[in-house]
Amino acid sequence: AGGSKREVTPPRPPHSVSLLSSMTAGRKERGSEAGRPAPSGRGFEDGAAADASGGSAAHLPQGPDQAQLVESNEPLTLSMSMHPLLQAKNFFASSRVSSSYLVDGDVTQLYSGDALDDTPLENRIFRDRTTCFGLRFKLLSVERVFLNGRARQNKYVVVLGYALVFFLSLMEVLKTWLLKKFKDVHCPDIEDNSTETDISCSKAESFYSYGAFAYQLTYILPSYGLFTVLGIASHVYIHKSKRVHDKAWAMLATFVLYFVFGTALYTATIITREKQWPDHFLNSAVQGLTVYLFFSGTPTFSSFFVLSILTLVVYFVAFPLSYRHVKSKFGEKSTDALELKTNFTQDAYPLLLTIFIELVGAYISEVSRRKQFLQGVIMINQQEEIIQRKAKNETIQKDLLENMLPTSIVSKLQEQNFAVQSWDQLRSLSQRHSGVCIMFAELEGFTAFSAEVSPPRVMEYLNDLFYVFDSLCEEHDVYKVETVADQYVAAVGVVTGKMLSEELSRDLSENDRQKSDVKFAMDETSNGGSARSDESLLGASTFNTVRMIDFAKAIMRGSKCVEVPSSSIPPMLRIGIHTGPCMSGIVGTKNLRFCLFGDTMNTAARMDQMGRADCIHTTEDVIDLAPGEAWEKLRRIDVKGKGLMQTYLLPYSAFEKDGENPSVSEICFENPLLLKDGRQKNLQPGPAPHLPDEALAATPSNRSKYEECATPVKDSVYKNYTKHLGLAFKKFEWEKAYLDGEARLVEIEVYIGYFLYVLVLLSNLLFGYINYVLHHSICADSSLTAVEFCQLKFGELALDQAQDMDGGDGRLSYNDIITYSLFRMTPASLGILLGLNALGPLTHWFIHRKNYVKSKYWALVNVWVIYTAKLIVIFVIMYLSLVIPEQEKNADWPWGWGPVLVTQALLLVLYSGVPMTLYCAWWCIATALYYGFSLPIILQDKALLDEGASMYLITINEYIKTSIIVFCMGVILCLGKYSKEINTRKRLLQRVQVLKQQDEIIRQKTRTETIQHEFLENIIPPSLVKKLESGREDLSVSLVRLKTMTETHLGMCILYADLVGFTTFSAQVDPFKVFTFLNQLFHTFDSLCDEHNAYKLETVGDCYVATVGLVTGERINLTSPKESDSARKIHRSVMQSTVSCDALSSAGSMRSASSVNIRNLLEFAKAMVRGSRQVMKPEVRTPAIMRVGIHSGTCLSGIVGAKNLKFTVLGEDIDIAAQMEHEGKPDAIHASEDVAFLLPKERWVKFKRIERSDREPMQTYLLEV
């Protein structure tokens, strides 16, 4: 006993049985395990068992009024105190399944926690799956799917990009027209250049850059139009054509068009604009690259990097070539050469700065898109894996259910969510069958055999024997109904064979039913047709009977192949068969089972009980249907409830040589534990990959679902959830979730933006130094052309400084550098900007890292405020640098305002994550600052024009060009931000919809799985359910595993209760009323199980079997076969106080455990007797009287069979308990001496002495209730 284990489960306090009292609450509170053991003993020896072995999962209201309800045929209203199957809806109202089904208010859960694409695990997976610094997936198949999905996602954005390019050409024409108009007004072409204005125009003419208006209309505008038409046409063709399966070709087409058109445009600009081409090149390059960045729909960084390299190569290679041409044409000291040199140097800085900022942004955006794609693929695979696993579990559990109940019953229960809410539903689960052949097979001498052989060996032998029987069921199309210990029950014509079935009618009496023209539903497994006549009934009966006789002969032969453990009296099989009508339905409330009952069951059981070993015993009805066998006529016998009957025998010797004995090793049949190869392939989904390598590389159909990872929801769906042109969700919770999620996703990007801003400030100083060197080299030249150019372009102050430094010490000061920088940063202004730029990251970190700032979208507001403050500071600095009298203005001062504004706008759109509304507000503020500070200066300088100042003409020329550029860049960036935000919002909506759909599937499957799991645990103990399901991991559990699911239980107490006079009662009352009466009675007993910590093992007809110490109560379990052999000896020694229990490794002694268990079961028995008196029999109007027997001892439990799995218990003490009930007294409790010994305070009365199976006498006791 050293290897034993003792599990103590405290009893549950009494309470009203309602709302899952029998399935969930009781099991969870007291840790019990629901199950369905089958008692050993003669299950159908008593006539009552054969007359009505049925019940239902439905429960009626308790009390005497039940009989009146049954008699009246009125619709029954079920009470709230009912079986969990009747309250499945209540279960889901009170018990949550594992689901996170999303509703609108729960969308904020999506972005709780860390950023979705910034976890260490995802970063590691991303690094493992990508190359080239995360810019390409290692597998070409994955790369193709990503590109294809990306192309589908951006098909409309690309069209918008082509339209924007044409819009830019129109703005270029507008700019040329405005500049020409201004020149025509202030500098008309006249021959007499006598006025000061004409002299000023003549001086400024070399700096004018407006181009030829006719050239714009003739060549530039048509070229842009042709590019737009070709781009849109090729793009639409690729996406609409069914012959182009990979839409990623649209990306290649877009890139080629931009590359070719950009090269042609750069070349044309350089050739046609000799000295001003750097300005035009800068405008075209910055605008074109920005459009490509936001509206190309291509892999942003790689293609953008190529175009950027092309731009820089053309720019820096073209300058020496064009400079050489200008020098040769106009001379090295000419104004044209100096202006080309100046323009090239000044335009190189904003070009390099813009390309650098956009390149970094393109890289971050590309990596983010690929991470999101990979995350979406992982999410889909994980969701599919969950669904597959749940579908697998659901299939496993459904197969196990179908292994215990007919498929038709399981399907009907599944349609009703495994809930029976009315008697009509109960009737739908119950049917009358005609022409059914039923067989009972039993081992003669099994009691004596099991007394000599150890319980584990007995269980192993029964498994081997029933395994043979189960396998032959498949071959002969026979349905296994039940096993009760060594008894095997099968039928043909109920689930298999030719079935003539009718639904139960509530409105017709029994006589009316017999006279009515019943419409039978015929389901044939062999032949087709319908059966409405006596000929059909005869044909079905004959077919089913012949099929059953063949099966009986097969199992008789098969039993000879099973190795029998050594014993003095080996068991031998005897079989009884009868054909006739019967009724089927689900029996019981706890541990329910599909059962048959009626006179045919009774007669078949009698044939078995009164038969002979190695013979098939049958009735005259069977002989009439199958006369071709070698039947031996017997003399008439007296059958209980039937009178004298003529019966026949078919001995084994008569058919021994008809066929070969089957080999156990060759037997294979379909069941949920041992599946055929074909079925196994259908059920086993295989491991779902966490990453899409294999799936993406398989077929286009598999790849299409992953392309959805890069494709947001449709526009029509998006419009239903958004407002204000798609810039806000209709529901405030969604809007907060989006902003909060966006803030988390761009957390790192914001830090990068602040860092790049510092680089911009430092590069501005570098540009100031380079510009200073350029100015000094030009202004230091004493030639007349250089002096005039310096005065006109840079002003008198620049000329004087250059002249002074040539004669001075040549030292360069900070003030000299900021004078020639893009905007003048004094030490104070630089400190303010750096302070704001440092405050931004600190507040950003604070918002994201402090838990009491719950809404992280405040980080977006913080970024917007910081960038707006820096913009205001810069404009104030630039304005003050122009209005301070000591500072001289350059003629081209408006040129510098454009790059400053565009640079800030690029940083904000690429590195902030601010929503479109705030970004547009920022542009409104920037535009107001631009015109608010620049127009007063322009109006103030207009007075200089009357004095002949040519600098004003140059300023207006630059101001018009800068204003057009700012407007164009504002349109591009705002539309780009709009497109980016719409895409981001669609991604949020897509993720919500995917999760809702996937989660709904999981919720439904989990719901079904939960119902089936609870339903399955209502049939066999949960511990065995887990073992069966875990053993199905590869869907190939062998019979050896079933044999290991055995345990020996010590100190358990078992009860048998039988309904007195049930045979006579069932013969007088309509079968369905008997059916409902048994449900009411069993429901009363089931509700008492929870109150008294008892566990229902079985119902065999009207016999109710329960125990304490097997699943509930104080459990002492042994798993070793050697320990099991001596378990009964240990128990007897303890009961006789001859051996100490110190050897048991348990918390208390076996005697105390047995005492607790017996006390609980005895209280349960008392409650049963009292409760049965409250249930009235219908029609006869008498109370139900029970005969109860209890005993304490040991037993072996386990699963028997492979089809219609049965949790059963075996052992001598089980037989003794059944004997206590059989020889007991009505309305009293009959107990063994072991029970009376452990509970001496009860009012026991000596009753009789009976003989055990081992021939030892035993005193029994009676307890009146």
Helix (H, G, I), strand (E, B) or coil at 480: strand
pLDDT tens-digit readout, 250-277: 999 999 999 999 999 999 888 887 778 8
Residues, the chain: 1265
Higher per-residue pLDDT: 505 or 31? 505
Higher per-residue pLDDT: 1227 or 87? 1227
Residue spans of beta strands (DSSP E) within 193-240: none
Please report the pLDDT score of residue 692 as a whole number: 45
Higher per-residue pLDDT: 26 or 776? 776
Higher per-residue pLDDT: 1079 or 947? 1079
pLDDT tens-digit readout, 351-370: 999 999 999 999 988 888 88
Who contacts 441 (Cβ-Cβ below 8 Å, separation ≥6)? Answer: 469, 487, 488, 489, 490, 552, 555, 573, 574, 575, 576, 608
Distance CA 331, CA 789 (A): 14
Give 1160's pLDDT tier (boundaries 50, 70, 90): very high
Q: Dmax of the chain from CA atoms?
A: 152
User: Mean pLDDT across the stretch 696-706?
Assistant: 47
Q: For residue 333, what are its two tokens?
A: 């000291």
Evaluate whether 1166 touches 1196 at the Cβ level (below 8 Å): no
Higher per-residue pLDDT: 128 or 1036? 128
Neighbours of 798 (CB within 10 A): 21
Q: For residue 946, what are its two tokens?
A: 């009357």
Residue 1110 CA: distances (Å) to CA of 34, 1043, 1093, 1100:
10, 18, 11, 19
Give 449's pLDDT tier (boundaries 50, 70, 90): confident
DSSP secondary structure string, 273-329?
-TTTHHHHHHHHHHHHHHHHHHHS-S-HHHHHHHHHHHHHHHHHHHHHHHHHHHHHH
Our measurement of the distance from residue 1002's CA atom to the centroid of its chain's CA atoms, rounded to an integer in Å, reads 5
Please report the pLDDT score of residue 1117 as a whole number: 73
Distance CA 902, CA 900 (A): 6
The chain-wide mean pLDDT, for the chain, equals 75
Evaluate whether 429 touches 557 at the Cβ level (below 8 Å): no
Neighbours of 1153 (CB within 10 A): 26
Query: Of 265-269, 656-660, 892-896, 1150-1154, which one has max mean pLDDT?
Result: 265-269
DSSP secondary structure string, 593-651?
EEEEESHHHHHHHHHHHTS-TTEEEEEHHHHHH-TTS--EE---EEETTTEEE-EEEEE
Please report the pLDDT score of residue 885 as a whole number: 62
Evaluate whether 957 touches 208 at the Cβ level (below 8 Å): yes
Helix (H, G, I), strand (E, B) or coil at 508: coil
User: Mean pLDDT across the stretch 904-911?
Assistant: 93
Please report the pLDDT score of residue 590 as a whole number: 66
User: Mean pLDDT across the stretch 866-875?
Assistant: 94
Please report the pLDDT score of residue 351 as a whole number: 93
Given a cut of 70, whether residue 414 has pLDDT beyond it is: yes
Q: For residue 251, what are its two tokens?
A: 């990306």
479-484/487-492 β-pairing: antiparallel
615-619/572-587 β-pairing: parallel
> CA nearest 371: which of 115, 148, 152?
115
Distance CA 103, CA 271 (A): 62
User: Mean pLDDT across the stretch 795-804?
Assistant: 66
Please report the pLDDT score of residue 937 as a whole number: 84
pLDDT tens-digit readout, 1179-1223: 888 899 999 999 998 888 887 776 667 778 888 888 889 889 989
pLDDT tens-digit readout, 536-585: 888 899 999 999 999 999 999 999 888 898 888 889 999 999 999 888 87
Please report the pLDDT score of residue 653 as a whole number: 86
Who contacts 434 (Cβ-Cβ below 8 Å, separation ≥6)? Answer: 493, 500, 501, 520, 537, 540, 541, 581
Measured over the CA atoms of residue 1063, residue 1066, residue 1071 and residue 1076, the dihedral's sign is: negative
3-state helix, strand, coil in the chain (%, to 5): 60, 15, 30
Given a cut of 90, whether residue 57 has pLDDT beyond it is: no
Give 1031's pLDDT tier (boundaries 50, 70, 90): low
Give 149's pLDDT tier (boundaries 50, 70, 90): confident
Given a cut of 70, whether residue 512 has pLDDT beyond it is: no
Given a cut of 90, whether residue 190 has pLDDT beyond it is: no
Please report the pLDDT score of residue 1213 as a whole number: 87
Given a cut of 80, whether residue 1064 has pLDDT beyond it is: no
Min mean pLDDT across 409-423, 936-950, 1108-1122 is at: 936-950
Given a cut of 80, whether residue 131 has pLDDT beyond it is: yes
User: Mean pLDDT across the stretch 930-942?
Assistant: 84
Q: For residue 859, what are its two tokens?
A: 């980080």
pLDDT tens-digit readout, 1113-1156: 888 877 544 444 455 555 555 555 444 444 444 434 677 888 89
Please report the pLDDT score of residue 73 as a whole number: 37
Higher per-residue pLDDT: 9 or 265? 265
Residue 1191: phi, psi to the nearest 5?
-155, 155
Q: Can you tell me which residue has the tokens 């719409």?
A: 982
Evaluate whether 1200 touches 462 at the Cβ level (below 8 Å): yes
Distance CA 1177, CA 68 (A): 9
Please report the pLDDT score of residue 196 as a whole number: 46
Given a cut of 80, whether residue 1013 has pLDDT beyond it is: no
Please report the pLDDT score of residue 35 as a whole number: 35
pLDDT tens-digit readout, 299-329: 778 899 999 999 999 999 999 999 888 888 8
Helix (H, G, I), strand (E, B) or coil at 1069: coil
Please report the pLDDT score of residue 59 as a whole number: 33
User: Mean pLDDT across the stretch 408-414?
Assistant: 77
Distance CA 317, CA 777 (A): 22
Q: For residue 84, what are its two tokens?
A: 């969990």
User: Mean pLDDT across the stretch 859-871?
Assistant: 94
Give 186's pLDDT tier (boundaries 50, 70, 90): low
> CA nearest 157: which of 299, 295, 303, 300?
295
Min mean pLDDT across 73-87, 123-137, 1112-1126, 1172-1186 is at: 73-87
Given a cut of 60, whether residue 609 has pLDDT beyond it is: yes
